[in-house]
Amino acid sequence: MKKLELVYEGKAKKVYKTDDPDLLIVDYKDDATAFNGEKRGIISGKGSVNNRMTNHFMRLLAAAGIPNHYVEELSDRETLVKRVTIFPLEVIIRNIAAGSFSKRYGLKEGTVFRKPTLEFSYKNDALGDPLINASHIFAMNLAVPEELALIREYSFKINDLLKSTLMECGITLVDFKLEFGKAPDGTIILADEISPDTCRFWDTKTGEKLDKDRFRQDLGNVEGAYQEMARRLLG
Ligand code: TMP
């Protein structure tokens, strides 16, 4: 598979065309940002951890019936994926209160929810990815009800699968963000990444944070946390 021109560069990944119009190559960077790009840094080794961890989860989810964009891991940092049109939505699932939820509702970080929650953000950096509800999504024609229903169903199922896999590694899945896309044939598939950049992972025994909150909150040993997650999950 030939790596052709760069089609998109985001905060943490680069995306390249290939000689197959239906396939793209994702290249994970060590660059880290937080607070909508206000805080910037490098987390050495992050690209490799996020690439390999995402692929591990994507293979597991595909085997469990969640269609996704993963095709083949090409290197430590590069993966071949299916080209999709991304819905401009971030789907956030939470099991435990943290981050913006704790802030918004004044709920202590660590409060365990009676049931997992789901919320959507509108992917728009200029607006700071604001919260959006289903009726807004339909009004703006960002997705139709059948699509959103499937996205919800997949997201809760992904939560169950990730939670149980991580539990076996001594990790509590606090919350995470997903992105979905539409393939050229119209099917809805999971895309983007599932990594310490996009999830909150807490050590079940000690409560230690093993995710990007170490960078966001200047907790130190950021690289160590990414490496520890890779070790636990990938061996
Ligand atoms: P939040 O508590 O800041 O809303 O974050 C919820 C989850 O979503 C958390 O696991 C981190 C992830 N996330 C992203 O992947 N990208 C983002 O831009 C933000 C704000 C959060």
pLDDT tens-digit readout, 158-197? 999 999 999 999 999 999 999 999 999 999 999 999 999 9
Distance of alpha carbon 96 from alpha carbon 205, whole angstroms? 16
On the question of pLDDT at 219 being above 90, the answer is yes
How many angstroms is it from 174 CA to the middle of ligand 1? 11
On the question of pLDDT at 94 being above 90, the answer is yes
Atom of ligand 1 nearest to the CA of 103: 2
Ligand 1 site, residue 92, Cβ cutoff 6 A: yes
Ligand 1 site, residue 33, Cβ cutoff 6 A: no
Distance of alpha carbon 209 from alpha carbon 32, whole angstroms? 17
Per the DSSP assignment, residues forming a β-bridge with 79 are 26, 73
Q: What is the mean pLDDT of the chain?
A: 98
Distance of alpha carbon 228 from alpha carbon 207, whole angstroms? 14
CB atoms within 10 A of CB 113: 13
Ligand 1 site, residue 101, Cβ cutoff 6 A: yes
- Residues composing the chain: 235
Structure tokens at 197: 């950049």
Question: For residue 200, how many C-alpha atoms fall within 13 Å in the half-sphere facing its CB?
Answer: 21
Question: Smallest Cα–Cα separation from 227: which of 53, 11, 75?
Answer: 53
Q: What percent of the chain has pLDDT over 90?
A: 100
pLDDT tens-digit readout, 52-76? 999 999 999 999 999 999 999 999 9
**Predicted local distance difference test score (pLDDT) of residue 30:** 98
If pLDDT is split at 50, 70 and 90, which confidence band does 1 have?
confident
- Enumerate domains of the chain plus CATH numbers: 3-82 (3.30.200.20), 85-222 (3.30.470.20)
How many angstroms is it from 20 CA to the middle of ligand 1? 32
Q: Which residue has the tokens 């509800």?
A: 133
Q: What are phi and psi of 109, to 5 degrees?
A: -55, 130
Atom of ligand 1 nearest to the CA of 200: 10
Q: DSSP characters for 155-221?
A: HHHHHHHHHHHHHTTTEEEEEEEEEEEE-TTS-EEEES--STTTEEEEETTT--B-STHHHHTT-S-
Helix axes 145-167, 46-63, angle to 10 degrees: 110
Structure tokens at 144: 């139709």
Q: What percent of the chain has pLDDT over 70?
A: 100
pTM for the model: 0.98
Ligand 1 site, residue 209, Cβ cutoff 6 A: no
How many Å from the N-terminal Cα to the C-terminal Cα in the chain? 28
CB 145 within 8 A of CB 138: yes
Q: Give the mutation target among 193, 198, 211 for probing the ligand 1 site: most ligand atoms within 8 A of CB.
A: 198
Ligand 1 site, residue 41, Cβ cutoff 6 A: no
- Cα dist from 195 to 27, 123, 126, 225, 227, whole Å: 14, 18, 24, 12, 12
> How confident is the model over 86-112, as a mean pLDDT?
98
**Predicted local distance difference test score (pLDDT) of residue 23:** 98
pLDDT tens-digit readout, 104-160? 999 999 999 999 999 999 999 999 999 999 999 999 999 999 999 999 999 999 999
**Predicted local distance difference test score (pLDDT) of residue 202:** 99
